[in-house]
Amino acid sequence: MEISFAVVFDMDGVICDTNPYHSLAWKAFLDKFGIGSSEEEFIAHMYGKSNSYILKHFFKREIVGEEFAQMEFEKEALFREIYEANVKPIAGLIEFIEDLKANGVKTGIATSAPYLNMELILSKLPLRDKMQSLLASEDVSTHKPSPEVYLKSASNLDITPNRCVVFEDSFSGITAGKVAGAKVVGVLSTYKIEELPVCDAYITDYQELSYQKIKDLFES
């Protein structure tokens, strides 16, 4: 049987619940500069946002060039140090991906995080050989909510964007998937349904999800 769709996963909050660890890393990083932060501010201005946006928000100015590269590397290195011993997938993810692969579905990861973060997670979870597309922040010129990373993912997977299902947990990520023309499943790891754009479906984890349920999104 011909498989007529592909599945693309965001990473933070979708493959792993990394956001609490990003909060710890950002707090430690900002404390160095005497910049206060709160969980409420992280919810509004950190989760699902690019590092360029986050730094601009907290420093109240554009951070660019070598200064940006150094700040981003320092913060993400802090995150990897904090998170390395805690990497685990959202419940049911591995089994769900195995079901997709058993049915011939192409899959990919499309994250706004840098490659080194993705490499950390791929080194801990059995995902690398299951992915036909791996895209990180270095691969795009415009970050989510721009659809660029999802349009590139569809191209890598040799399928039209409207035959992709995107799994996202943030407002900017869901917007990116929708603008790309994909179907979007909202993962409720970070936000509530009412805090997100309208999605084609919502999940809290992957335990009840299957190839057939994703296939049904195109047939309903």
Which residues lie closer than 8 Å to 76 by C-beta, 6 or more apart? Answer: 25, 51, 113, 114, 116, 117
Active site residue 216: no
How many CA atoms within 13 Å lie on the side-chain side of 139? 22
* Helices 65-83/51-59 angle, 10° precision: 110
Containing 178, the helix (H) or strand (E) segment is helix 171-180
Active site residue 205: no
| Alpha-carbon span 57 to 137, nearest angstrom | 19
Catalytic residue among 10, 17, 99, 169: 10
How many helices (H) and strands (E) would you count in the chain?
9, 6
**Residues noted as catalytic:** 10, 12
